[in-house]
Structure 1
Amino acid sequence: MKSESKDLLKEALALPPVQRAALVDQLLTSLDKPDEAIDNLWRKEIAARLRAYRSGTADTISAEEVLAEYRAK
């Protein structure tokens, strides 16, 4: 890590927790660039899942079952 990066990190670590969290959020958002190919794949997946749900061919689990299984662990 370069000296200026180390200095920046030292300053960031001195911030109050809420400000550090906001900074982290902004930094991560800056790295999350839209990818049209991935977005298209997700659109297709969502459409396929919705078709399966509406046609009754999707395997579904009720929220109660999911929560009961989670709580049992």
Structure 2
Amino acid sequence: MAHSINDLEKEVFALPREDRARIALDLIRSLDKDDEPISREEWEAAWSEEIRRRLEDIQEGRVELLDAEQVMADLRARYPKK
């Protein structure tokens, strides 16, 4: 490999926002290429099951619900703009 991952990250993070977004999208799409495509019905069924499972976790108290504003404030504090 010509660049270390750390060097590559530094170069990518130095790019303008639009370029970073394009690279991020391309990387995500590249991960999906190995997956077999599913039909819309399969996709909807999978998400319906995930929603059911998450709702059940909430109702049974297996997960802790967090306030979105507090989560965002915590993230902003942890990762300030450069």
* Higher Cα radius of gyration: 1
User: Which band: TM-score by shorter chain?
Assistant: 0.3 to 0.5
In the superposition, the TM-score normalised over structure 1's length comes to 0.45
